[in-house]
Amino acid sequence: MSSYYQRPSPESRAELIKARALSLGFSKVGIIPAVSLSTEHERLNEWIARGYHAQMAYMARDPEQRANPRRLFPEARSVVVVALNYYTAAQHAEHTGTGKISRYAWGDDYHEVLGDKLRALLQWIKEQWPEAEGKVCVDIQPMMDKAWAVRAGLGWMGKHTNLITQDFGSWVFLGELLLNLELDYDKQEIADQCGSCTLCIDACPTGAIEEPYLLNSQKCISYETIESRAESIQPEISGRLEGWLYGCDICQDVCPWNHVSVTTDEPRFQPRA
């Protein structure tokens, strides 16, 4: 009686990896080749040239690396892109004595939550295919998270410049796993479904969304209350904070795709006291 080992095809490996990612709690997953994002790179350069990155000097540091995953992980052949729903049913206290904190910061640090899940996925992949090597990317690494998510078919870029998914709106965290494996790839991107809606642009109290799909960080409440290292908030913004102390969710709160939101299954994203 003879036996032989049949190496899994790229198609079956991709499906197994997706199934495992979903079983680990990720809300959406797509797999695409680790190629350079040339169009997105050009847009990033234009955005930086306008000075819209404000004091975020790291955005202007080697922008090509942000568009080319092989600059970060030379062995990269595939990018596993994941999204994790973080929406909870809790609401802001709507009275003047209480400041508002962006919904993404209500629970545990998402870098740790996503990182734990991606590391668990990478460990599982290595157990299945010993030749596998990879690199986990969660925000801190120079990856264009939203651009990769669009390429992977997880959603589309909204006019507020956040990724919008059909299933969870824009209440998702994004991450990537770079792998040295050749896999079967998702080829279908989701068409822009913002249509003629301009609610996010109209609702921004500081006019940070200067035109559809173009955000000026220098006018953004989230930038001013999180990223800016200035000693004080700009006068033209300080009078328009509308109670926001850390971050801002206005453009997401008014988005029609977020009006019927699915509550996250991840308990670590529930609001802390």
The residues annotated with a catalytic role in the active site are 139
CB 181 within 8 A of CB 13: yes
Q: Which residue's entry shows tokens 């969870």?
A: 168
Three-class secondary structure of residue 246 per DSSP: strand
Q: Which residue's entry shows tokens 């990317």?
A: 137
Three-class secondary structure of residue 221 per DSSP: helix
Cα angle 27-29-32, degrees, rounded to a multiple of 5: 165
Three-class secondary structure of residue 120 per DSSP: helix
Residue 243 Rama label (left phi>0; alpha psi -120 to 50; beta): left
- Write 16-21 long-range contacts (CB < 8 A, 24+): 16/128, 17/80, 17/121, 17/125, 17/183, 20/121, 20/124, 20/125, 21/80, 21/82, 21/121
Q: Which residues of 101-128 are buried (b: 16+ CB within 10 A; e: fewer)?
A: bbbbeebeebeebbbbbbeebbebbeee
| Other CB atoms within 10 Å distance of the CB of residue 244 | 20
Helix (H) or strand (E) holding 174: strand 172-179
Contacts of 189 (CB under 8 A, 6+ apart): 150, 151, 153, 156
